[in-house]
Amino acid sequence: MKQLLLAATLIGAFTVPAFAMGPFYIMFDKDTGTCSMAQKVPSDTDKFAMMGSYRTEKDAHMAMEGMTKCK
């Protein structure tokens, strides 16, 4: 019984953070000429241009470093 409880706890501990990850969006601010990252799609399409959608924050940071507009 203790082994089953321990196994269930470990499975829960490793799967819950995976569900917490959401899409990360890179947006280019046309007014300031800078890029930013958010977890929500920008609603002001006149001010922001979508640069991409990524599964993890790490992927979004790596992509933003490689974008020429974001330098």
Confidence band, pLDDT 50/70/90 cuts, at residue 10: low
What percent of the chain shows pLDDT beyond 90? 34
**pTM for this one?**
0.65
Distance CA 15, CA 12 (A): 5
Burial of 45 (0-12, 13-18, 19+ CB in 10 A): exposed
